[in-house]
Amino acid sequence: MAAAAATLARRITRSGVLPLCRRLPVWGRAARRPPGLPLAPCRAFSNKKIQVDMNESSGVATMKFKSPPVNSLNLDFLTEFCISLEKLENDRACRGIIITSAIPKIFSSGLDITEMCGKSTEHYTEFWRAVQEMWLRLYSSNMVTLAVVNGSSPAGGCLIALSCDYRIMADNPKYTIGLNEAQLGIVAPFWFKDTFVNVVGQRVAERSLQLGSLYPAPEALKFGIVDELVPEEKLQEKATAVMAQWLALPDHARQITKSMMRKAVLDLLVAHREEDIKNFTSFVSKESIQKSLRMYMEMLKKKKS
Ligand SMILES: CCCCCCCCCCCCC/C=C/C(=O)SCCNC(=O)CCNC(=O)[C@H](O)C(C)(C)COP(=O)(O)OP(=O)(O)OC[C@H]1O[C@@H](n2cnc3c(N)ncnc32)[C@H](O)[C@@H]1OP(=O)(O)O
């Protein structure tokens, strides 16, 4: 696993572009399997920060974030996420993936702010490439992707949920979700914005992004950020039912449709990847932005005392 992670990290940082396996549109999974060959064996695999369990009979994998205290998306997490997704994409038996958290009350706290504070340009470059890679892989995945948001999910955590095909959230007003970057004095990049617009529409996205709104679950449902609220103890059951409904369709029809809906947004980042990295590194390197991020981290720590 360590060797695989190192290889992937090297591929992300050196070549700049990973082969986006099974980038949409691709043919149906069943159609790719040579006739007569058995399904590739599927196993559960657990890494440091993400647990993946594959249900071979349903063809559905569950990916659980388990990176205490708050599942923040640091370089190691992002690398593990990409490796896990690649493994599942390459597993011909896997048609759907449920993304959720093993940490109570938190889905993901978003990008790890410490990765954006006081580091070198090289580090920012490597980190941002990994963030891009995570989104490109998830947003372009051929599998049915279902976010089970069982806790708060600000900023990058919200992006993960928004990048899935469907979002179920625990019916708890204490859990919030949204792209709150503006509250940190930073700007959601264009592809965060485009992903958001594709889910909620221009008006809700514009207002929410300018205000950096974090919505309690009931409001998130009202504005279409999530598709359903479910009592926490029913999340698993609901996720299984929703996944079965999506998997009932022929893969190729669903996949080509998904690609049509997402291609323009994906292509834009692929075409402007290096420029986007430069924008990020010069933006976060500004002293004013560093100051905002430091103040935000201090605020988080003070909140506890
Ligand atoms: C020309 C145009 C140019 C434009 C160019 C644009 C370029 C791009 C610019 C940059 C874009 C960046 C996009 C950023 C995306 C992000 O995701 S930023 C992260 C946003 N996340 C948050 O705001 C969440 C902050 N955290 C919380 O609100 C809470 O922690 C929580 C998640 C709700 C959990 O609360 P609680 O259970 O009470 O735990 P805490 O005590 O608050 O936290 C526990 C410890 O974890 C630390 N922590 C929390 N979140 C983060 C995080 N995101 N990163 C790092 N660390 C985090 C927190 O400080 C605590 O630490 P300790 O005090 O040491 O225990």
Q: Domains in the chain and their CATH numbers?
A: 2-18+42-234+252-304 (3.90.226.10)
CA 252 vs. chain centroid, Å, equals: 23
User: What's residue 64's pLDDT?
Assistant: 98
| Rounded distance from Cα 111 to ligand 1 centre (Å) | 6
Question: Does 111 qualify as catalytic in the annotation?
Answer: yes
User: What's residue 303's pLDDT?
Assistant: 86
Antiparallel, parallel or unpaired: β 60-65 and 105-106 = unpaired
- Report the b/e string of 72-110 with b at 16+ CB within 10 A: bbbbbbbbbbbbbbbbbbebbbbbbbbbbbebeebbbbb
- Number of DSSP helices (H) and strands (E) in the chain, helices first: 12, 11
User: What's residue 120's pLDDT?
Assistant: 97
Tens of pLDDT, residue by residue over 182-206, are: 999 999 999 999 999 999 999 999 9
Tell me the torsion sign for CA atoms 6, 10, 16, 22: negative
Q: Among residues 180, 209, 229, 293, which one is catalytic? A: 180
| Ligand 1 atom index nearest CA of 105 | 37
Q: Among residues 73, 78, 88, 111, which one is catalytic? A: 111
Give the DSSP per-residue string, 15-43: IS----TTPSS---HHHHSPTTPPPPP--
Antiparallel, parallel or unpaired: β 60-65 and 96-101 = parallel
User: What's residue 170's pLDDT?
Assistant: 98
Q: Cβ distance 246 to 254 under 8 Å?
A: yes
Q: Tell me which DSSP letter residue 120 carries.
A: -
User: What's residue 27's pLDDT?
Assistant: 29
* Ligand 1 pocket member 147 (CB < 6 A): no
Nearest CA to ligand 1 atom 64: 301
User: Which residues contact residue 246 at a Cβ distance below 8 angstroms, ignoring those fewer than 6 apart?
Assistant: 96, 144, 146, 165, 166, 254
Query: Tens place of pLDDT for every residue, the chain, 305 residues?
Result: 444 444 444 444 433 334 443 444 332 343 333 344 444 445 677 779 999 999 999 999 999 999 999 999 999 999 999 999 999 999 999 999 999 999 999 999 999 999 999 999 999 999 999 999 999 999 999 999 999 999 999 999 999 999 999 999 999 999 999 999 999 999 999 999 999 999 999 999 999 999 999 999 999 999 999 999 999 999 999 999 999 999 999 999 999 999 999 999 999 999 999 999 999 999 999 999 999 999 999 999 998 77
Closest CA to 194 of 163, 230, 219: 163
| Rounded distance from Cα 60 to ligand 1 centre (Å) | 30
User: What's residue 23's pLDDT?
Assistant: 44
Question: Does 156 qualify as catalytic in the annotation?
Answer: yes
Q: Among residues 156, 157, 178, 212, which one is catalytic? A: 156
Question: Does 28 qualify as catalytic in the annotation?
Answer: no
User: What's residue 30's pLDDT?
Assistant: 38
Among 67, 70, 177, residue to substitute to test ligand 1 (most atoms within 8 Å of Cβ):
70
Among 65, 71, 109, residue to substitute to test ligand 1 (most atoms within 8 Å of Cβ):
109
The complex's ipTM works out to: 0.98
